Structure 1
Amino acid sequence: MTPAPGSAGPVDNSQSVRSALATLPFSAAQITGGFWANYQQINRSVSLPHGFAMLEQAGNLRNLRIAAGLEVGEFAGFWFADSDVYKWLEAVGWELGRAADESLLAMADEAIALVEAAQLADGYLNSYYQITAPDKRWTDLDHGHELYCAGHLIQAAIAWHRAVGDDRLLTLTLRFVDHIYDMFGPAGRTETCGHPEIEMALVELFRVTRDSRHLDLAQLFIDRRGGNRMSGHAGYGPVYQQDHVPVRQATEVAGHAVRQLYLTTGATDLVMERDEQALFDAMLALWADMTERKLYVTGGLGSRFDGEAFGGPYELPSDTVYGETCAAIASLMWNWRLLLITGEARYADLFERTLYNGVLSSPGLEGASYLYVNPLQVRAGRYVRASTDSSSGAEIRRPAWHNCACCPPNVMRTLSSLGHYLATSSEDGLQLHQFAAARLDAQLSGQPLRVEIETGYPWDGRVAVTVRESPATPWALSMRVPEWCQQFTLSANGDAIAPLVNAGGYVVVNRTWQPGDQLVLDFAMEPMFVAPNPRIDAVRGCVALQRGPLVYCFESHDQQAGVDLLDAQVVTTELPTANPYDLLGGIMTIHVAGRMSDRPNSEPLYRPLDEAPPAASRPVDLLAIPYFAWGNRGMQSMRVWIPQVSAW
């Protein structure tokens, strides 16, 4: 089993009608060392085997055995449990595309055989309905998740087809999609799924098969939304199900955050293939609403536990935030597609912010535990829920798995395919969007191009790109200047050059390159305070701390004895200092000057203003760690936003 030369990664826009940039073949972008290589190795050696064990323990694999008639028993877990198996299979597919692994292949072979055995003769495949209600297939599109699960199966099949050269999943998937087309195509029923996902999967399947039925079906599912027909879930209504407004008329992100973002991702995929400006205009309006009024500083999305939903404008509480990991990953997917269409750095900027903070805060550093929700403040005691599994008031924790386990395999597939998102090519040259030690290969006018990247990012801002193979004609090497960067230098072969930053936000150097040429872009990485929009009343008067792409937080583990983070303030007139420290595997910490308010515990909650004396305070040194690393030493109090002295 070997993939075809030049096989694509998760998105293949090589034949799309609307794209400024083209994705590289999956094997053409390989992370070779540093920060992300470490995460990929942990994902490979720990997370993926752990995921297989959890799928067995939770009953997901047994469900498929029962559906296949190999065992007798009752269905276990949520009715969409099959999707966790498919996401795990997708992750393994991309991982095997990076390098062979007999142990992972054996696990995947077992799972694939169960999927094959469970499929019915007419192509239908869903273990929940096959076990619990075989006569009720396709009777609950609002809540049943049948098309949602099918979407994840399609994506797994594509990963194995492209990265491994194995079409077992693709063969059975095409039978299932034929069945779905017969049921819901132009001559079939006019419903759509209560949980978007299949839309982006069908567009990608079209990119594999070039079968126009797959693209047409994706458009039908998108076009059918907005009729206020769906009943909602547990009383949430059509907004929750993304059925409250036609997609082209939408101006605000609303409802269930993951549903919203999977829908916009699929719609943006459709823009790439059909070049519909009205649909793209709606995507731009939704992105503006999300980034200007509903985005956390970590890139997290979804401020309400109720409905796992977006809140209103500027409704961004730190302690009761939901910030589901899957929503952050959906944001990566959407921003990647917007970047491919436009070539604008703002989408790569949000991708970076979300990846390093909103996504990476989920997995434990050991690779076998995950957060479902990602708060920006945790108070001492039992005040924040860790996931949908825990009742209100449960102590936050990072469990090994979840009853609703959508997030862990989503993290796994993101890490195993991460090289796909580093760079793109165009007729003009090569574009570098995310920074990691890597090897990149491309073709320009039929001639090979290879570069190697060395960097200590995200701890160090130096990014060195060395040309190893180059066409004989001039081409442009473009490197993103991150939104957080206030100062940088650029040199070629050791000589400083004046940078040219294009309108999209990239440094562009266009020349005839020779093997051995090196371009070095060096971003100044200094800790900086970040202020919120004053309309975000939950953190008005507070500041956050950031260095490079990393948002920092204060954890009670690291503070001086007697420091309560509820009473701490930072002194923003004194510059924070960054120091490497052998903490949590070797991270960069930041020291901040602060003050500690000595407030008695007996102080009343409220009193007249003229009776409130200023609280005495004393200087303290506060230590901050990267937000992604919090909660790895047991759960204590933590906060990202902290009052500044002048605002207390």
Structure 2
Amino acid sequence: MGSTTATVTPASPRSADRLRYHPLGLDAVRFAPDGMLGAWQQANRSSSLRHCIEQLEASGALPNMRAAAEGRAGTFRGFHFADSDIYKVLEALGWEAGRSDVSEFLPFVDETVALLARAQQENGYLNSFYAETPDRQFSDLRWGHELYCLGHLLQAGIAWARTSGRTDLLEIGVRFAELVEDSFPPSGRPPVCGHPEIETALIELYRHTGDTRWLELARRMVDARGHRSVGEDRFGYQYFQDHLPVRDVPGATGHVVRQLYLAAGVADLYTEGDDEDLLAALERIWSDVHFRKMYITGGLGSRHRDEAFGDPFELPPDRAYSETCAAISSVQFNWRMLLVTGEVKYADELERALYNAVAGSTSPAGTEYFYSNPLQVRTERDGEHEQAPARRAPWYDCACCPPNLARLLSSLHAYAATTDDDGGLHLHLYEPAGIRLPDASVVVTTGYPFDGRIRLEVTGHLPVLSLRLPGWARSYQLLVDGAEQQEEPVDGYLRITDVGQGIVELILDMPAELRAPHPHIDAVRGCLAVTRGPLVYALEQADLPAGVVLEDVLLDSSGEPEAGPGKALVPGDISVPKVRVAAVVRTPASSAIYPVAGAEASGASQRISVDLVPYFRWGNRGPGGMRVWIPAAQ
């Protein structure tokens, strides 16, 4: 069962007709270990993957599968979709096998694949939660997650097949997929899973094998949505993306990860077909998300109860759910839209989510995680909640985020650059890296995202070199072999034609800036945030003078924020620059919870300067308050 596609990436479109950009193979881009993304990827390789394997054992995911293989009943632990954690870790290892030597992990992979083979039933069914109750299999598509887990199993198998030619894991997944196809014929029950994910996996299986039945099954799943077949539930049909047919939706709604996993699958379906109504729906979803329902960090989801989008501009910073998996799904959705359209806005938003909401979810060591990613934590926080902690945790009962992050990081270099029909190179993420193409190689040297200078040493010949001009960039300078060029951006990219051996430099002005919220975001009206380049900054209690309470600090907007030198916040971490801002500490004049208007501003005040840290590195220096949106001094 070998691949018939030439490109080896997590998303490898078979049809090129609707692509503006084409992914590069995983072996075409290599991040240097001294860059932010390269160091993060290396921490994933050296620490996170081992940690995930250990937690699969401790959490019960692997013991559950052993019980299924051995026919032992009544021993299941954890959430009923725990199998997906196993598959995501296997997928992460599969992509890592295309990047580095994974020999030390092969015993685990061999043992786990053999375990899955033993646990798989004769008809192909594989799910440890339902193994002991055959009469309940496929009985609850709304909450059962069987198809969701199958999707992750298929993606794990595809990762290994593409990077190493290993097919035993994929064969297990295909046997299960064949059962699903037989169990849900076109004339029967609609195969609508309560948690989208299977759609993307089936389309990737089609891309890998060339077997159109998997594309057709994915198409049937997408077309079946919106007819309220999942059944009544307290969360409503929007939660499951079953409220309206995909082509008719006006925008984004419901459970964030479900929405964006489905959107990624629909983007894949559009890429392999010619249904313009699908693309129009995706553009409506994207616009609704990014213009009305997104946090400044790229985080998505403001409601804890159903892990969902709120109403337009309902974006409270302290109640931000902003699940890590939601940010990861945003990266995946934006990448697919970038490939299809070539529009720079998708690369910009991929970058925003990656450097802030995704990066902030994990500790520098790569072994502790946030499930939710709030934009404010109060000084007097009342207790802890498992999915909304004040500090990162080693694992979660619902452990979807850590292994999801691991699989993204193992393949992260696949999102850096693309090519086109003419063999040009388009650079979307700026990171120290080596890039190999058939007729050229490029070495990228940069301190991005902390430094706006990007240097590219080109060897060979490129018909076109396109460099993304980020939406946050106010000014730039472009040099070719030291000579300034007067190129104007085209669709958000600086395009240099006929590039031979030499040096290309892009210098982006990267001042620290004050940002105001949209006037409809009531929760942060009168507040300001600080950004520098693609990074959002946060004020932490750890950087305030002794005795100063975070909630008493107001930002003095009359001063200009100033970026400082780089410094590691914790030993062994990368060096990150802080930003210094002028502030006012105003002690309330009254203890009244609702004083007469004006009295709240009459207390004692003092002027100070405070340092802000990149949001992605908050929460690593012990407990304490934090906020991104700071009230402005009047």
3-state SS of the aligned residue for 1:519? strand
3-state SS of the aligned residue for 1:127? coil
| 2:5 and 2:208 in contact (8 A); partners too | no
Amino acid in structure 2 at the alignment position of 1:124: Y
Q: 1:250 to 1:325 in 2, by over 3 A?
A: same
Q: 1:60 to 1:641 in 2, by over 3 A?
A: same
3-state SS of the aligned residue for 2:608? strand
Please, which moves more after superposition, 29-38 or 357-366?
29-38
Amino acid in structure 2 at the alignment position of 1:403: D
Q: Are residue 524 (structure 1) and residue 509 (structure 2) matched?
A: yes
**Which residue number corresponds to residue 264 of structure 1?**
263
Tell me how far 1:188 sits from its aligned partner: 4.1
Tell me how far 1:2 sits from its aligned partner: 12
**Which residue number corresponds to residue 550 of structure 2?**
565
Give the distance between the partners of 1:384 and 1:313, measured in 2 at CA. Answer: 30
Q: 1:68 to 1:613 in 2, by over 3 A?
A: closer
Q: Are residue 457 (structure 1) and residue 457 (structure 2) matched?
A: no
**Which residue number corresponds to residue 586 of structure 2?**
597
| 1:552 and 1:626 in contact (8 A); partners too | yes
Amino acid in structure 2 at the alignment position of 1:583: L
3-state SS of the aligned residue for 2:545? coil
Tell me how far 1:383 sits from its aligned partner: 4.0
| 1:4 and 1:162 in contact (8 A); partners too | no
1:84-483, aligned counterparts within 5 Å? Answer: 84-131=85-132, 133-231=133-231, 235-383=234-382, 386-388=385-387, 396-428=390-422, 429-443=424-438, 448-470=439-461, 475-483=463-471
3-state SS of the aligned residue for 1:68? helix
Give the distance between the partners of 2:568 and 2:266, measured in 1 at CA. Answer: 45
Tell me how far 1:23 sits from its aligned partner: 0.5
Give the distance between the partners of 2:481 and 2:185, measured in 1 at CA. Answer: 58
Count of aligned positions: 628
| 1:370 and 1:400 in contact (8 A); partners too | yes
| 1:570 and 1:643 in contact (8 A); partners too | yes
Give the distance between the partners of 1:408 and 1:31, measured in 2 at CA. Answer: 22
| 2:360 and 2:618 in contact (8 A); partners too | yes
Q: 1:610 to 1:42 in 2, by over 3 A?
A: closer
Give the distance between the partners of 2:136 and 2:73, measured in 1 at CA. Answer: 20
Give the distance between the partners of 1:11 and 1:610, measured in 2 at CA. Answer: 57
Q: 1:612 to 1:540 in 2, by over 3 A?
A: closer
| 1:59 and 1:77 in contact (8 A); partners too | yes
Tell me how far 1:386 sits from its aligned partner: 5.0
Q: TM-score, normalised by structure 2?
A: 0.96
1:332-367 deviation line (CA, Å, top 9, x unaligned): 110000000000110000000000001011111111
Please, which moves more after superposition, 579-588 or 120-129?
579-588
Amino acid in structure 2 at the alignment position of 1:434: L
3-state SS of the aligned residue for 1:130? coil
| 2:3 and 2:208 in contact (8 A); partners too | no
Give the distance between the partners of 2:66 and 2:228, measured in 1 at CA. Answer: 38
| 1:576 and 1:590 in contact (8 A); partners too | yes
Give the distance between the partners of 1:136 and 1:101, measured in 2 at CA. Answer: 38
1:561-595 deviation line (CA, Å, top 9, x unaligned): 22212111111221111112242332111111110
Q: Are residue 638 (structure 1) and residue 626 (structure 2) matched?
A: yes
3-state SS of the aligned residue for 1:239? helix
Amino acid in structure 2 at the alignment position of 1:327: A
Tell me how far 1:384 sits from its aligned partner: 7.6
Give the distance between the partners of 2:21 and 2:255, measured in 1 at CA. Answer: 30
Q: 1:379 to 1:97 in 2, by over 3 A?
A: same
Give the distance between the partners of 2:77 and 2:52, measured in 1 at CA. Answer: 17
| 1:541 and 1:643 in contact (8 A); partners too | yes
Among candidates 618, 621, 643, match of residue 606 of structure 2: 618
| 1:500 and 1:509 in contact (8 A); partners too | no
**Cα root mean square deviation, aligned:** 1.9
Amino acid in structure 1 at the alignment position of 2:614: P
| 2:41 and 2:409 in contact (8 A); partners too | yes
Tell me how far 1:465 sits from its aligned partner: 1.3
1:488-503, aligned counterparts within 5 Å? Answer: 488-502=476-490
Give the distance between the partners of 1:191 and 1:7, measured in 2 at CA. Answer: 30
| 1:553 and 1:626 in contact (8 A); partners too | yes
Please, which moves more after superposition, 179-188 or 133-142?
179-188
3-state SS of the aligned residue for 2:550? coil
Q: Are residue 80 (structure 1) and residue 66 (structure 2) matched?
A: no
| 1:14 and 1:23 in contact (8 A); partners too | no
Amino acid in structure 1 at the alignment position of 2:446: T
3-state SS of the aligned residue for 1:360? helix
| 2:586 and 2:601 in contact (8 A); partners too | no
Tell me how far 1:427 sits from its aligned partner: 2.2
Give the distance between the partners of 2:339 and 2:391, measured in 1 at CA. Answer: 37
3-state SS of the aligned residue for 1:463? strand
Amino acid in structure 2 at the alignment position of 1:418: L
| 1:436 and 1:457 in contact (8 A); partners too | yes
| 2:30 and 2:433 in contact (8 A); partners too | yes
Give the distance between the partners of 2:239 and 2:392, measured in 1 at CA. Answer: 27
| 1:6 and 1:27 in contact (8 A); partners too | no
| 1:7 and 1:27 in contact (8 A); partners too | no
| 2:19 and 2:340 in contact (8 A); partners too | yes
**Which residue number corresponds to residue 506 of structure 1?**
493
Tell me how far 1:438 sits from its aligned partner: 1.1
Among candidates 525, 539, 542, match of residue 554 of structure 1: 539
Tell me how far 1:514 sits from its aligned partner: 2.7
| 1:372 and 1:386 in contact (8 A); partners too | no
Q: 1:622 to 1:342 in 2, by over 3 A?
A: same
1:531-550, aligned counterparts within 5 Å? Answer: 531-550=516-535
Q: 1:83 to 1:587 in 2, by over 3 A?
A: same
Q: Percent identity?
A: 44
Give the distance between the partners of 1:237 and 1:130, measured in 2 at CA. Answer: 29
Q: 1:229 to 1:560 in 2, by over 3 A?
A: same
Amino acid in structure 2 at the alignment position of 1:291: H
**Which residue number corresponds to residue 52 of structure 2?**
51
3-state SS of the aligned residue for 2:98? helix
Give the distance between the partners of 1:464 and 1:242, measured in 2 at CA. Answer: 44
| 1:3 and 1:164 in contact (8 A); partners too | no
Give the distance between the partners of 1:459 and 1:329, measured in 2 at CA. Answer: 22
| 2:427 and 2:468 in contact (8 A); partners too | yes
Q: TM-score, normalised by structure 1?
A: 0.94
Give the distance between the partners of 1:320 and 1:76, measured in 2 at CA. Answer: 30
3-state SS of the aligned residue for 1:206? helix
3-state SS of the aligned residue for 1:491? strand
Q: 1:620 to 1:289 in 2, by over 3 A?
A: same
| 1:14 and 1:22 in contact (8 A); partners too | no
